[in-house]
């Protein structure tokens, strides 16, 4: 493969199609139900990799949360602003984003870390853990595996992906002050010939007070 395609380029190109294929992942919907049941009205929530705003930001706004979404894709940010105008969306990268002071009552991270290098995945987890306020929640999903720099074709695009194993995710979160309250894996079958079955890891965690 030649020059590696960035996440911003991939998701700028996918646009609404990503929501059509991945907008109703059952495990993500369950995680959002779990999280919103524990948040008070006005809770400050950061949605990392906010995509089109659906389902995450939309569900959080519906629950009365104060939501900021960040995404590397300008096209996704534009779609999210139109779909969920009650939230605020910024074009930003989790690797360099500077959050407002005070941290967040919850941080959501549904699949934004895959199109980067493995050390960046680890560093991004550290950053998001630090942004979660004491007593706050961190809810994430990813495709787990000890993977670094794997070239694949996904949704019609050549991308280079990395991840951490389930065990490494759990250990890293624990080391950064988060108690993992629940985790599980589930296989998702996208309704698109450009994306094969995916094993998804879901983690629900809370920062120690």
In a structure prediction context, what are the per-residue pLDDT tens digits for the chain, which is 209 residues long? Answer: 455 778 999 999 999 998 999 989 999 999 999 999 999 999 999 999 999 999 999 999 999 999 999 999 999 999 999 999 999 999 999 999 999 999 999 999 999 999 999 999 999 999 999 999 999 999 999 999 999 999 999 988 899 999 999 999 999 999 999 999 999 999 999 987 778 899 999 999 999 98
* Phi, psi angles (nearest 5°) of residue 32: -70, -40
3-class secondary-structure state, position 113 = coil
* pLDDT score recorded for residue 151: 94
* pLDDT score recorded for residue 1: 41
* pLDDT score recorded for residue 3: 59
d(CA 105, CA 65): 10
CB 162 within 8 A of CB 118: yes
Which stretches does DSSP call E strand in the chain? 44-48, 66-71, 88-91, 104-110, 132-142, 147-154, 157-163, 178-188, 198-207
Please give the structure tokens belonging to residue 66: 């104060």
* pLDDT score recorded for residue 194: 74
């Amino acid at each position: 493969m030649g020059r590696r395609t960035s996440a911003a380029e991939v998701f700028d190109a996918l646009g609404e199609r990503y929501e059509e294929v991945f907008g109703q992942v059952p495990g993500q919907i369950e995680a959002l139900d779990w999280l919103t049941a524990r948040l008070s009205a006005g809770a400050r929530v950061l949605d990392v990799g906010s995509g089109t705003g659906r389902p995450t930001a939309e569900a959080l706004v519906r629950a009365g949360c104060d939501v900021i979404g960040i995404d590397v894709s300008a096209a996704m940010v534009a779609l999210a602003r139109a779909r969920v105008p009650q939230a605020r969306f910024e074009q930003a990268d989790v690797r360099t984003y500077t959050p407002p002071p005070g941290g967040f009552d919850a941080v959501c991270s549904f699949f934004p870390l895959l199109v980067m290098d493995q050390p960046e995945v680890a560093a991004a987890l550290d950053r998001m853990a630090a942004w979660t306020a004491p007593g706050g929640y961190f809810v994430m999903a990813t495709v787990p595996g000890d993977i670094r720099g794997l070239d694949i074709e996904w949704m019609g695009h050549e991308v280079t992906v990395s991840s951490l194993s389930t065990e490494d995710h759990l250990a890293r979160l624990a080391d950064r002050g988060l108690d993992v309250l629940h985790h599980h894996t589930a296989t998702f079958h996208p309704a698109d010939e450009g994306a094969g079955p995916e094993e998804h890891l879901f983690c629900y965690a809370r920062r120690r007070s």
